[in-house]
Amino acid sequence: ETGVTQTPRHLVMGMTNKKSLKCEQHLGHNAMYWYKQSAKKPLELMFVYSLEERVENNSVPSRFSPECPNSSHLFLHLHTLQPEDSALYLCASSQELGRNNEQFFGPGTRLTVL
Protein backbone atom coordinates (compact mmCIF):
# COMPACT_ATOMS: atom_id res chain seq x y z
CA GLU A 1 0.00 0.00 0.00
CA THR A 2 1.18 3.49 -0.76
CA GLY A 3 0.01 6.94 0.20
CA VAL A 4 -3.00 7.39 2.44
CA THR A 5 -5.61 4.64 2.70
CA GLN A 6 -9.05 4.78 4.30
CA THR A 7 -11.46 2.05 5.28
CA PRO A 8 -14.26 1.44 4.76
CA ARG A 9 -14.86 3.29 1.51
CA HIS A 10 -18.61 3.29 2.10
CA LEU A 11 -20.57 3.05 5.34
CA VAL A 12 -24.29 3.10 6.06
CA MET A 13 -25.30 3.33 9.69
CA GLY A 14 -28.34 4.01 11.81
CA MET A 15 -28.46 6.82 14.34
CA THR A 16 -27.98 4.44 17.27
CA ASN A 17 -25.00 2.57 15.82
CA LYS A 18 -21.36 2.89 16.79
CA LYS A 19 -18.78 2.62 14.03
CA SER A 20 -15.21 3.68 13.37
CA LEU A 21 -13.42 5.06 10.33
CA LYS A 22 -9.79 4.11 9.83
CA CYS A 23 -7.00 5.99 8.12
CA GLU A 24 -3.46 4.78 7.56
CA GLN A 25 -0.58 6.68 5.96
CA HIS A 26 2.48 4.94 4.54
CA LEU A 27 4.48 8.11 3.97
CA GLY A 28 6.32 8.50 7.26
CA HIS A 29 4.48 11.73 8.02
CA ASN A 30 4.07 13.26 11.46
CA ALA A 31 0.78 15.12 11.07
CA MET A 32 -2.67 13.74 10.26
CA TYR A 33 -6.04 15.38 9.67
CA TRP A 34 -9.76 14.61 9.45
CA TYR A 35 -11.94 16.66 7.07
CA LYS A 36 -15.66 16.59 6.35
CA GLN A 37 -16.83 17.19 2.79
CA SER A 38 -20.55 17.88 2.48
CA ALA A 39 -22.47 18.72 -0.63
CA LYS A 40 -22.63 22.46 -1.28
CA LYS A 41 -20.29 23.33 1.62
CA PRO A 42 -16.55 24.02 1.69
CA LEU A 43 -14.25 21.35 3.01
CA GLU A 44 -14.29 21.53 6.82
CA LEU A 45 -11.26 20.71 8.96
CA MET A 46 -12.34 18.61 11.95
CA PHE A 47 -9.21 17.48 13.79
CA VAL A 48 -5.44 17.82 13.51
CA TYR A 49 -2.85 15.56 15.12
CA SER A 50 0.88 16.09 15.27
CA LEU A 51 3.09 13.33 16.65
CA GLU A 52 -0.03 11.66 18.03
CA GLU A 53 -1.09 14.76 19.98
CA ARG A 54 -4.29 16.58 19.05
CA VAL A 55 -3.47 20.18 18.15
CA GLU A 56 -6.72 21.35 16.61
CA ASN A 57 -10.36 20.62 17.27
CA ASN A 58 -12.70 22.80 15.26
CA SER A 59 -15.80 22.80 17.43
CA VAL A 60 -16.75 19.32 16.34
CA PRO A 61 -19.68 17.67 18.17
CA SER A 62 -18.72 15.07 20.74
CA ARG A 63 -20.45 12.34 18.74
CA PHE A 64 -17.24 12.38 16.68
CA SER A 65 -14.26 11.11 18.66
CA PRO A 66 -10.78 10.93 17.09
CA GLU A 67 -7.98 8.62 18.12
CA CYS A 68 -4.36 8.62 16.99
CA PRO A 69 -2.56 5.61 18.50
CA ASN A 70 0.62 6.20 16.48
CA SER A 71 1.83 8.51 13.74
CA SER A 72 0.67 6.15 10.98
CA HIS A 73 -2.90 5.54 12.10
CA LEU A 74 -5.88 7.78 12.71
CA PHE A 75 -9.38 6.74 13.68
CA LEU A 76 -12.69 8.55 13.84
CA HIS A 77 -15.14 6.91 16.21
CA LEU A 78 -18.78 7.62 15.50
CA HIS A 79 -21.78 7.24 17.80
CA THR A 80 -25.36 8.49 17.82
CA LEU A 81 -24.89 10.38 14.58
CA GLN A 82 -27.54 12.48 12.86
CA PRO A 83 -28.64 12.34 9.22
CA GLU A 84 -26.94 15.69 8.60
CA ASP A 85 -23.62 14.00 9.42
CA SER A 86 -23.87 12.13 6.12
CA ALA A 87 -20.85 13.26 4.09
CA LEU A 88 -17.51 12.22 2.64
CA TYR A 89 -14.92 12.02 5.43
CA LEU A 90 -11.40 12.61 4.20
CA CYS A 91 -8.17 11.83 5.98
CA ALA A 92 -4.92 13.60 5.12
CA SER A 93 -1.33 13.63 6.28
CA SER A 94 1.66 15.93 5.94
CA GLN A 95 5.33 15.66 6.79
CA GLU A 96 5.01 18.28 9.52
CA LEU A 97 2.67 21.06 10.51
CA GLY A 98 3.55 24.30 8.78
CA ARG A 99 2.40 26.61 6.02
CA ASN A 100 4.47 25.03 3.26
CA ASN A 101 3.62 21.43 3.97
CA GLU A 102 1.62 19.67 1.29
CA GLN A 103 -1.23 17.53 2.58
CA PHE A 104 -1.79 14.13 1.01
CA PHE A 105 -5.39 12.93 1.02
CA GLY A 106 -6.96 9.52 1.19
CA PRO A 107 -9.91 8.53 -1.05
CA GLY A 108 -12.42 9.16 1.71
CA THR A 109 -15.21 7.24 3.41
CA ARG A 110 -18.69 7.97 2.10
CA LEU A 111 -20.91 7.92 5.20
CA THR A 112 -24.69 7.71 5.09
CA VAL A 113 -26.64 8.06 8.34
CA LEU A 114 -30.20 6.79 8.18
Partner 1 sequence: GNSVTQMEGPVTLSEEAFLTINCTYTATGYPSLFWYVQYPGEGLQLLLKATKADDKGSNKGFEATYRKETTSFHLEKGSVQVSDSAVYFCAGNNAGNMLTFGGGTRLMVKP
Instruction: State which amino acid sits at residue 107.
Output: P
- SS3 assignment, position 85: helix
Eight-state DSSP code of residue 66 = E
Which residues 6+ apart lie within 8 Å of 81 measured at CB? 13, 15, 17, 63, 111, 113
The verdict on 102 binding partner 1 (CB under 8 A) reads yes
The verdict on 27 binding partner 1 (CB under 8 A) reads no
The verdict on 15 binding partner 1 (CB under 8 A) reads no
- Site track for partner 1 across 39-68, x = CB under 8 A: --xxx-x--x------xx------------
Write out the residues near partner 1 by the rule CB under 8 A.
4, 6, 33, 41-43, 45, 48, 55-56, 90, 92, 97-108
